Every structure is written in structure tokens, then in C-alpha cells.
Amino acid sequence: MSHALKPRFDAVRRELEQRFLAKEEIIRLMMVAAIAGEHMVLIGPPGTAKSAVIRAFARLVDAKYFEYLLTRFSEPNELFGPVDIQSFRAGTYQRVTTGMLPEAEIVFLDEAFKANSAILNSLLTLLNERRFNNGARVLNVPLISLFAASNEVPSSDELNAIFDRFLLRVHSDNLDSYHFHELMRMGLALEREAMARESTSSPAPVQTSMLSAADLHDTRRNLLDRVQFPEDFLATYKGLCFQLRGEGISLSDRRVVRLLKLFAASAFLDGRTHAHEGDLFILRHCWNNLDQREILDDVVEPVVAHYYAEHPEDRPHQATADINRLVAELKLVHKTLTQGGELSDIQLFTQLRNLNDLRTAFAGHGGDTADRMIKQVDLLLEQIFEGGRFGAGGAPG
């Protein structure tokens, strides 16, 4: 990555991470998709910041933007532009695409899988070939990436083709328990800002763009010339692909090749000229249904964790939670369990879930402090399963 671009990508990452709690991996994947020129869908329950994080990213890029909420009643002209009446009267059928999806560089379609077949058929060619059939003319579209959001994975056969166009399938869920206090703090701050603007009728502050569409077009064109794939990386990738196929997860040859662009984009984002096994975390987001996520985690995560255990200096900043916040949360759990008084079954189950969440977070963080905290968590879990007999040991620190 050029010296000029690295600070810009870093600035986008920092800005989004400050605004969205525990969305580091989603933010990284959005940037990877945009660098590689691929498409990404966020799937998860309402209220998990799917739309907000996509819009926030789009505001940081100086690019032509198009957004639309689809329903089964949406018509093609709402996305692709109205029919040009003057041309139609002259015997030519074409659409006026000014300001519409065919001229956009970053696109967000909310509830994308509710579109009807007329819209889906046009989207297929546009997403895969970057072309739009406007009457007798075929337009080359400037699309960088299309981001979609949905509350559920499409289940009908007629939607398989459009779902296949999204190389990245990312699940967005409610935050883990150890983020609760930080969520309350950040959420209240945002609510206060919104209420202050309402009371003064002040517009929301204008967000300054940090990247340009030209930056992203340039990186996509030159990506595979800038990033190399070492033989040991390809050997590991091959092993994972065949293992996942053996587990029943469909990975076509075309998809296997296209994923290389995402690995290259991940390396490029870190300023590297070669891919490494840490970039294979992207494979965890190539599921076809939500049931496959656990299989992908079990197969891919040990490979990624082993690489970062041997190369901690390569671990991306955004891949780890703040260790101090995790330790503070563990202290709260420890206090709840040891402060005296009998806990109800529901309270005990809640703390058990909290401890399991914290253990996973510490394991993902790595390092001496995290290892010590994992031992503290295991001790508390052991005491819970032994009937709640908690010792007088000090709090985690």
C-alpha cells in the first residue's frame, strides 16, 4: 500500500470502531470487500447496527452512493431509473439512470432478498459483470461494492443466484454480555446528541470523506500485482478448502479463486505485500446457511489462532477486544459471585454465560494477561459446577 493510502484506510477503521462497539471484524470485512471490489451481505436480527455501519462507511468514502429499502412491491424504475418518455415516443426504450443504481459506486440495498424477479434479474448481471442493459445499450457501471442487509438468510431456490453474488456473508448479532456497560455508555451519549440536535433544530454534523472512489478503483485494479501468495499459504488454503468440502460446505472452484482477492485485500489493508494464514479468517464468512457457521469456526479458527500465536506482531489491531475492558468485566462477575448471598438459578446461568463469553474473548485476544484471565475464568467455572463454593481468592488483576 502506498504511504499516502495507508493512513486513510487506518483513519476509516478508527472512525468506525469508535462509533460501533465490537464491530471490528465487520468493519474490516467491509473494507476488504471494497478494496477487492466484491459484494457483502449482513444478516442478523433487527437492531444490530447492520444498516448503520454500512451507511457510516459509505459517508466516509467520496463516491456516488445509492441506497434503497426493497419490498416485494418495489419496481425496477425505483432502482434503475424511470423510462425515458421522450425516447419512448421516438421508438426507443431506455431508462434515465441519472442518480440511480447504475451510476452508483457504493450501493446499499436494505432487505435485498425481498426484491421481485424483475429486479433480481437485472441485479445479477450488474453485480457479476458490472454491466447494465439499458434498452438496446449495454452500460459499463462504475460499481465498487454493493452491500446488502437482511434479517434472514434467503431460503427459496429463486434467490440462490443473487445470494451467490455475495462473496462475503457476515452475521451481525446482539453484543456479548461483557460489552453491556460500554453499550449503555455509548448508547446514552448518542441519544443525548440526538436529543440536543432535536431541541435546537441543528442538522447532523457533515462527515468528512476519508477515502475516494478513485482510491478504491485503483487498489482493485492493482491488488493482485501488489500482493503475493506464498506456497505455504496456498498449501494451508488448499487443505482448508478440501476439509470444508468434506464437511459438506459448498466451495466451488470459482468461489475458491475469487476468495484470493479477499485474502489479498486483507493483506493490503495491513500494508503487507504477501498474504499469510491470519487472512484465512475470511473463510469463516463463506457459509451458505447459519448452521454452517459453527463448522467453519471449528475448522478455520484453530489455523488462524495458531498463526497469531506464533506471529503476535502480525495480529491486526481491530481483531482484538480491549483487554482492560475485559478484565474490568471479569472483576464485576467475580464480585457478583463472591459478594455473599445465594444466587438464583437464573442469576447463576447468566454469570455462567458471561464467563463463557469472556473466556472466548480472552482466548481471541492472546497474550500473558489474557492467559492469566483464562485461568481465573476456569477457576470460577469450576467453582460454579462444584456447587457455588467460592474461595476467598482475590479479584482478577
| pLDDT value, residue 364 | 73
Element (H, E) at 133: strand 131-134
The span from the CA of 339 to the CA of 222, in Å, is 59
In a domain, 91, yes or no: yes
In a domain, 215, yes or no: no
pTM of the predicted structure, to 2 decimals: 0.83
Please indicate, yes or no, whether residues 243 and 361 belong to a single structural domain of this protein.
no
Please indicate, yes or no, whether residues 38 and 144 belong to a single structural domain of this protein.
yes
Please indicate, yes or no, whether residues 112 and 172 belong to a single structural domain of this protein.
yes
Query: Is the model's pLDDT at 221 over the cut of 50?
Result: yes
Given pLDDT bands bounded at 50, 70 and 90, which one contains residue 319? very low
Please indicate, yes or no, whether residues 33 and 167 belong to a single structural domain of this protein.
yes
Given pLDDT bands bounded at 50, 70 and 90, which one contains residue 333? confident
- Mind listing the pLDDT tens digit for each residue in 225-243? 999 999 999 999 999 999 9
**For 128, left (φ over 0), alpha (ψ -120 to 50), or beta?**
alpha
Please indicate, yes or no, whether residues 300 and 337 belong to a single structural domain of this protein.
no
Q: Tell me which residue range forms the domain holding 374.
A: 321-385
In a domain, 300, yes or no: yes
Please indicate, yes or no, whether residues 98 and 230 belong to a single structural domain of this protein.
no
Cell numbers 462477575 correspond to 333
Query: Is the model's pLDDT at 79 over the cut of 80?
Result: yes
- Between 258 and 327, the higher pLDDT residue: 258
In a domain, 373, yes or no: yes
Please indicate, yes or no, whether residues 22 and 125 belong to a single structural domain of this protein.
yes
In a domain, 72, yes or no: yes
| pLDDT value, residue 312 | 84
In a domain, 235, yes or no: yes
Q: Which residues contact 378 (CB under 8 A, 6 or more apart)?
A: 359
For range 318-335, the mean pLDDT: 75
Residue 3 per-residue DSSP state: T
In a domain, 207, yes or no: no
Please indicate, yes or no, whether residues 280 and 380 belong to a single structural domain of this protein.
no
In a domain, 124, yes or no: yes
Given pLDDT bands bounded at 50, 70 and 90, which one contains residue 198? confident
Number of domains within the chain: 3
- Poorest-confidence range of 150-164, 188-202, 292-306? 188-202
Please indicate, yes or no, whether residues 98 and 182 belong to a single structural domain of this protein.
yes
Asked which of 271, 297, 318 is the last residue of a domain, the reply is 318
Asked which of 142, 176, 197 is the last residue of a domain, the reply is 197
Q: Which residues contact 308 (CB under 8 A, 6 or more apart)?
A: 278, 314, 315, 319, 366
Please indicate, yes or no, whether residues 243 and 355 belong to a single structural domain of this protein.
no
Percentage of the residues of the chain whose pLDDT score is greater than 70 = 93
Encode burial over 11-32: b for 16+ CB neighbours within 10 A, e otherwise.
ebbebbbeebbbbbbbbbbbbb
Please indicate, yes or no, whether residues 330 and 306 belong to a single structural domain of this protein.
no
Please indicate, yes or no, whether residues 343 and 274 belong to a single structural domain of this protein.
no
In CATH, what number is assigned to the domain containing residue 95? 3.40.50.300
Asked which of 299, 318, 337 is the last residue of a domain, the reply is 318
Given pLDDT bands bounded at 50, 70 and 90, which one contains residue 318? very low
